[in-house]
Structure 1
Amino acid sequence: MNATPLLELKDVHTHIGAYHILHGVDLAVAPSAVTMLLGRNGAGKTTTLRTIMSLWRASQGQVCFEGVPVGGPGTRSSPPDMARLGLAYVPENMGIFADLSVKENMLLAARQAKRENQLDTARLEWIFGFFPALKKFWLYPAGKLSGGQKQMLAVARAIIEPRRLLLIDEPSKGLAPAIIQNMIEAFIELKQASTTILLVEQNFNFARQVGDHVAIMDNGRVVHAGGMQELADDDALQTRLLGLSLGSHQ
């Protein structure tokens, strides 16, 4: 990874109550690329995303954005501060507002728009091209969408406006294969438009198609970092680090 990282974690430790979850995470996220964060369940991937967003505070180490410390002891960044820096977070539980319509959810996520006619129409139609169900159910309560449609809405909310960095936790979860492929194409177009993405994903075929770089976590640490293609081409490395082979997840 030759580019200066947009985001960098340096020896980050995170405690949640009495539990020490992250044990010195070192992670660099290159600009205008997709970095995959992989690892077994419980490895610390979600905690890493939440620590970056200041939802949980690092007890040791630094989270730096464009070289400036924004997380860790001595910093006071909050989730709204991170959003103002241009970060958007899609949690695994999606975080949508069930009682509001799809339209209202999108408007809440669009900081530059208070009414529908203020939304970027071209960008909205671009999103609808990948997730046509959102256009069909534009006025429906989000709580009445299927699980896969809610997942589409969660991702669409994050990309309704250009962001500097997207943090997305398992976006393909619950989606039909055709919609997963649409999401892959959306992420590829986003990085072509210089969006930086840090993506947690269990679908390894998805990871191989989208990822430029990869970091693998185990027991609260990054135990491997490199190119996604290098990992995809090395069955022995996959088995050693992940306990499985990407080739078995076509």
Structure 2
Amino acid sequence: MSNLLSLRGVHTHIGAYHILHGVDLVVPANQLTMLLGRNGAGKTTTLRTIMGLWHASQGSVTLDGQDITQKPTPEIAQSGVAYVPESMGIFSDLSVRENMLLAARGARKLDDIDTDRLEWIFGLFPAMKKFWLHPAGKLSGGQKQMLAVSRAIIEPRKLLLIDEPSKGLAPAIIQNMIEAFRQLKAANTTILLVEQNFNFARQLGDSVAVMDDGRVVHSGSMAELAADEALQARLLGLSLGAHQ
């Protein structure tokens, strides 16, 4: 199995702070890789380093065989990477429609967007069609998260980087999000997803990497981690079984 993304010995400094301490991480193509770990372990910094928002001070980031370690964020985005931050990054004063049109880099007007793809997104997230002309800032938290993901997938991407998509969402909306990611997986979308909801992680993850103190301390099959409560307790301080 080929790896779409590889991080080798990545160190990241933010000002005087040394956040990542030699991260080694691979993301297999056409799979969903979960990035788990306690708060402050370095998960968000890893995503931001991949996206070029912060640059690695040492080590390498390789995407589809190309070194992107020091490339600027717009160039990384143009190479087919979309990033959904924990803050969601939507434009609150713009409508859902306008947010989607901005995200479709190849479209200057709505008619330029692939109609079949837009209808597919409406199938994943019906609220996007219902609130198409509404200001994004008026949406609920769950609807804003749906919009953030919809923006990321309005065009085909090589890689999706998604930071805690279920945070603060009601259980019914989380289940809707899980089903949407299942469909993305079925369409052979490569995803690296940071998540604190372990039931969410277990249902979706193919592979998993666990971070602690700025390093990847475990990598392997998500199913194997989900089945090994002793390993869960050692790596994460809790059991996935307690979050069913």
Matches within 5 A, 1:29-178: 29-71=27-69, 75=70, 77-178=71-172
Q: Which SS does the other structure have where 1:6 is aligned?
A: strand
Q: Deviation of residue 135 (structure 1)?
A: 1.2
Spell out, residue by residue over 1:85-139, the C-alpha distance to the aligned partner (whole angstroms, 9 max, x if none).
1000000000001111000000000112221222222221221222222111111
Indicate yes or no: 2:221 matched with 1:221.
no
TM-score (normalizing by structure 1):
0.95
Any runs of at least 4 consecutive aligned residues in structure 1 with deviations exceeding 6 A, and if so which?
Answer: none
Spell out, residue by residue over 1:24-79, the C-alpha distance to the aligned partner (whole angstroms, 9 max, x if none).
000000000000000000000000000000000000000011222110xxx3x111
Identity %: 75
Match in the other structure for 1:231: 225
Match in the other structure for 2:185: 191
1:227 partner amino acid? S
Would the aligned equivalents of 1:8 and 1:64 in 2 still touch at CA under 8 Å?
yes
CA distance in structure 1 between the partners assigned to 2:134 and 2:183 by the alignment: 28
CA distance in structure 1 between the partners assigned to 2:33 and 2:192 by the alignment: 5
Would the aligned equivalents of 1:131 and 1:179 in 2 still touch at CA under 8 Å?
no
143-152 or 22-31, larger mean C-alpha shift = 143-152
1:244 partner amino acid? L
Q: Which SS does the other structure have where 2:57 is aligned?
A: strand
113-122 or 96-105, larger mean C-alpha shift = 113-122
Indicate yes or no: 2:11 matched with 1:13.
yes
1:100 partner amino acid? L
TM-score (normalizing by structure 2):
0.97
Q: Deviation of residue 176 (structure 1)?
A: 2.2
1:151 partner amino acid? Q
Q: Which SS does the other structure have where 1:135 is aligned?
A: helix
227-236 or 124-133, larger mean C-alpha shift = 124-133
2:107 partner amino acid? A
1:148 partner amino acid? G
CA RMSD between the two structures: 1.0
Spell out, residue by residue over 1:135-155, the C-alpha distance to the aligned partner (whole angstroms, 9 max, x if none).
111111111111111111101
Gap runs ≥5 in structure 2: none
Would the aligned equivalents of 1:165 and 1:195 in 2 still touch at CA under 8 Å?
yes
1:63 partner amino acid? V
Match of 2:234 among 232, 235, 240: 240
Q: Deviation of residue 249 (structure 1)?
A: 0.6
Q: Which SS does the other structure have where 2:68 is aligned?
A: strand
Would the aligned equivalents of 1:208 and 1:229 in 2 still touch at CA under 8 Å?
yes
Match in the other structure for 2:205: 211
